[in-house]
Structure 1
Amino acid sequence: MESGFSSSSMGFMENVEQPHVLAVDDSDIDRKLIEKLLKNFSCKVTTAENGARALEFLGLGDHPNHCNVSKVNLVITDYCMPGMTGYELLKKIKESSVMKEVPVVIMSSENIPNRISKCLEEGAQMFMLKPIKQSDIKQLRCHLMNCRS
């Protein structure tokens, strides 16, 4: 894709009950897996292959545009990515006056306690270990919809 983004949804049921998630991961396989799992829970998904593309989509890049700001309900990002880590992406989102309320979830295949606590202290909603499973997405979806599991 030319733009670096891929957007898809579960068809014609575009409504408030269908949260829009921006999934950021440098691994094509992981992006596809996350997208598939999120779609199973009726989420609209846009993917980006790195932090810079994610910031661009969110209107926080080098050429700011605020057209997507209110359209994203959650950002889920890998921690380890070249160029910009998920932690750096989290910090940029939380520093933005227009995006700071959007929940950010960090994923990593490495269970490093001080990394996890650093992300949570910086404002991450959750920290999930890869590989992401359907049960993780169910918990995430519940977070988005403010339901109790």
Structure 2
Amino acid sequence: MKFLINIVSLTADVVHTCKRVKDLFVLSSTMSYVDKMRTNDGASIWHARLRHLRIDKLKVKVLKFLVNGLPKLSTFGKGEVCERCQYGKAHRLPFDKSFSKCKAPLELIQSDLMGPCVTPSHSGFRYMSLSVDDFTTYT
């Protein structure tokens, strides 16, 4: 496996175990993620696990037993606001249209810096820089 060459140690929590049948890994339904995580029965945790499903929709799934293995949640946290859901719903107004035109390469360079990233690159860097020449659009 070439992609594991630079890894010194690898540790992780076991979420699934399965049997290998030829080139196929067969996962038992009793070993599913829902069964492993059944002990956590907070509505906010399940809201996040189910891709930030609306609380009223989560309540319907619980009350009508629509998801096998989903625990019977007792509280649904009325008035709680999920921070990630709020960021996902946030919108920005577009920037004003620019009418400036460059007449030569390297007259205007637009750049962006991203970081620090949690996971470093293969070279060990945690920041990324992107520069674009406005005239040629060369990066």
Please, what TM-score do these two structures have when normalized by structure 1?
A: 0.21
Larger of the two Rg values belongs to structure: 2
Instruction: Kindly indicate which of the two structures has a greater share of residues assigned to strand.
Output: 1
State TM-score, norm by structure 2. 0.22
